[in-house]
Amino acid sequence: MVVSPPLAKVQLDPFDLSWRSRLEAVLASGRAAGASLVEVFLESTDHIGLLAEQDNITNVSPAFGKGAGIRVFLEERDGFVSTNDLSERGLMVALEQALGMLGLERGSSDSSRFDGLADLRDYGQSKQAWLGHCPGLGEATSRLLEGTALLERHGQHLQARRGSYARDWQEVMVAASDGTFARDIRLHQSVGLNALAADGEHRASQGRRYGSSDRPDDLRQWDPNASAAEICASAQAMLRADYVEAGSYPVVLANRFGGVIFHEACGHLLETTQVERGTTPFAEQVGSPIAHAAVTAIDEGLSSGAFGSLSMDDEGMEPERTVLIENGVLKRFLSDRAGELRTGHARTGSGRRQSHSFAAASRMRNTFIAAGPHSPADLIASIETGLYCKSMGGGSVGPTGQFNFAVEEGYLIKNGELGKPVKGATLIGEAKEVMPRISMCANDLELAAGFCGSVSGSIFVTVGQPHIKVDSITVGGR
């Protein structure tokens, strides 16, 4: 066993009220240059990542960062610049560059048109001790190696065992010339296990990732035995499974990470970034049915401990519960500041970004299809011949909602009952065609942690759903 030495803790100066005068000077200068609105996003980060392969820690990746992103609006147009120089001079240089993108110059007006910042809304005050309460490098290493060892205990024919852990701590402060002044501390932890089983020509790979926000003790609460047992059982079931036959079938998608298809194929089409680009087929359909009446879909940032939850978004707005689709009818789009300006859709507390290097954009938080009245058994019993997708893998999505997703663990449905395991299945479709075919939703809603990449970088999100039935979808296979 190889264990790296303890990681020295780096103390980063906090964002506090001492920043007010510096930020107000930047905002006033931007407004005096003629900008409609100026926003400054300050960020400080502390990251640690671990990778275990077999029974060794093979990578330790610490990272620390601090910087600012400055965004300037002139009506609907905007310019964005990021910098690691947080001195007043550094911020002013970045402001000048952002203004220049819009043809504006500092000092072009005598009037600042800025009334000063509001009182600080400090969501991070109660979270100051979180980082110190997280597992240290030694404890995290021990837990991760425990997980990979348990894979060996539970598995058969295992060729490779891997585990990974990441802890991301972030402090942010947002100040804008509309008076917005807010600060927060965020904490995300995730742990994953993966096993590759091989026996002759047969192969099966299974993995699971678990994640939470705002819970320093979460790695300590993780049950590696249950995780390893679940992964190994799936790998064993799929190792010698037959390949599925291609065709068009009714399918039942399991809960939790099954929600990744709705997130990717439909959720992105309900962000105002897609309305701005003209790439969503739903742009003019608010108030109209876009899905089966069985479908209600929600995006929110409020669920305690969920990976996509937050006390405020990256534009300083508190999150809300946004009903996107209600009984099949499109109700709302997810909107950020730019989305509101350019499309007229009101902000929803969904302005998010990976870091200070990105301008915020309308992004999902915890996105899920709501629970329905049925049991999972009801859905399976309603199908004569079809496919049960217990676990979903990776996939790809086109700009207007075309998708294909691999089924990591699948079973045939025959005469309303689960049959033999099958592998090699890929679900292929388009959001606007598949959404009206989701005819039944079960009563077992669960959420799963994930990462989402888009125009403003990679962010922490939650996907989810109960078991759902799709009346017909194209299944790629052999």
Question: Which CATH number goes with the domain that contains 132?
Answer: 3.30.2290.10
Per-residue confidence (pLDDT) for residue 98, from 0 to 100: 98
Cross-strand bridge partners of residue 213: 188
Q: Are residues 80 and 168 in the same domain?
A: yes
pLDDT at residue 304 tops 50: yes
pLDDT of 231-257, one tens digit each? 999 999 999 999 999 999 999 999 999
Buried b vs exposed e over 281-320: b needs ≥16 C-beta within 10 Å? ebbeeeeeebbbebbbbbbbbbbeebbbbbbbbbbbbebe
Tell me if 114 is assigned to some domain: yes
pLDDT tens for each residue of 323-373? 999 999 999 999 999 999 999 999 999 999 999 999 999 999 999 999 999
Q: Does residue 12 lie in a domain region? A: no
Amino acid at 346: A
Give Dmax over CA atoms of the chain in angstroms.
78
Question: In this structure, are residues 450 and 260 in contact, taking their beta carbons and an 8 Å threshold?
Answer: yes
Decide if 2 is inside a domain: no
pLDDT of 109 above 70: no
- The predicted pLDDT at position 1 comes to 35
Domain boundary among 194, 224, 239: 239
Q: What is the pLDDT of residues 395-415, one digit of tens each?
A: 889 888 999 999 999 999 999
How many alpha carbons lie under 13 Å from residue 295 in its C-beta half-sphere? 25
Cα 201 to Cα 84: distance, rounded to the nearest angstrom: 52
Query: What does the mean pLDDT of the chain come to?
Result: 95
Query: How many percent of the chain have pLDDT more than 90?
Result: 93
**SS3 call for 436:** helix
Residue 110 has pLDDT above 60, yes or no: no
According to DSSP, residue 437 is labeled G
Q: Which residue has the higher pLDDT, 462 or 3?
A: 462
pLDDT at 469 > cutoff 70: yes
Q: Residue 442's domain spans which residues?
A: 243-476
Residue 4 belongs to a domain:
no
Mean pLDDT, rounded, for 387-396: 92
As a whole number of angstroms, the distance between CA 70 and CA 95 comes to: 6
11 within domain boundaries: no
So what's the pLDDT on residue 10?
45
pLDDT at 113: 81
d(CA 294, CA 378): 14
Asked if residue 171 belongs to a domain, the reply is yes
Residues 363 and 285 in one domain: yes
Dihedral pair phi/psi, residue 450, rounded to 5°: -160, 180
Closest CA to 7 of 45, 63, 83, 52: 63
Angle, in degrees to the nearest 10, between helices 137-154 and 224-239: 40
E-assigned strand segments in 132-220: 158-176, 181-199, 202-213
Say how far apart CA 302 and CA 177 lie, in whole Å.
27
How far, in Å, CA of 31 to CA of 267, rounded?
Answer: 35
Number of domains in the chain: 2
Boundary of a domain, candidates 239, 269, 301: 239
Clarify whether residues 276 and 387 are in a common domain. yes
Question: Residues 260-265: what's their mean pLDDT?
Answer: 93
- Does residue 447 register a pLDDT over 70? yes
**Residue 244 to residues 206, 241, 389, 421, 467, Cα–Cα distance (Å):** 18, 9, 12, 9, 21
Domain C-terminal end among 201, 221, 239? 239
* Dihedral, 373, 378, 379, 383 alpha carbons, nearest 10: -150
SS3 14: coil
Residue 5 maps to a domain: no
Question: H or E stretch including 131?
Answer: helix 130-133
Q: Is residue 105 part of a domain?
A: yes
Query: Is 234 found in the same domain as 257?
Result: no
How far is 15 from 461, CA to CA, in rounded Å? Answer: 25
Residue 180 contacts residue 114 (beta carbons within 8 Å): no
**pLDDT(374) > 90:** yes
Confidence of residue 13 (pLDDT cuts 50, 70, 90): confident
209 and 306: one domain?
Answer: no
Question: Do 130 and 277 belong to one domain?
Answer: no
Instruction: Please tell me the least confidently modeled range out of 110-119, 419-428, 430-439.
Output: 110-119
- My answer on whether 252 and 398 are in the same domain is yes
User: Is the pLDDT confidence value at 5 over 50?
Assistant: no
Instruction: Please give the structure tokens belonging to residue 263.
Output: 């997130």
Q: CA 135, CA 169: separation in Å to the nearest integer?
A: 13
Residues 215 and 309 occupy one common structural domain: no
Q: What's the pLDDT tens digit per position in 123-167?
A: 999 999 999 999 999 999 999 999 999 999 999 999 999 999 999
Asked if 52 and 185 sit in the same domain, the reply is yes
Same domain, 207 and 251: no
Q: What angle do CA 340, 346, 348 make, to 5 degrees?
A: 105
Name the CA radius of gyration of the chain, rounded: 24
* pLDDT confidence band for 108 (50 / 70 / 90): low
* Residue 315 φ/ψ, nearest 5 degrees: -115, 10
Q: Are residues 270 and 234 in the same domain?
A: no
Whole-number Å distance between alpha carbons of 116 and 93: 21
pLDDT band at 478 (very low <50, low <70, confident <90, very high): confident
**Same domain? 125 vs 256:** no
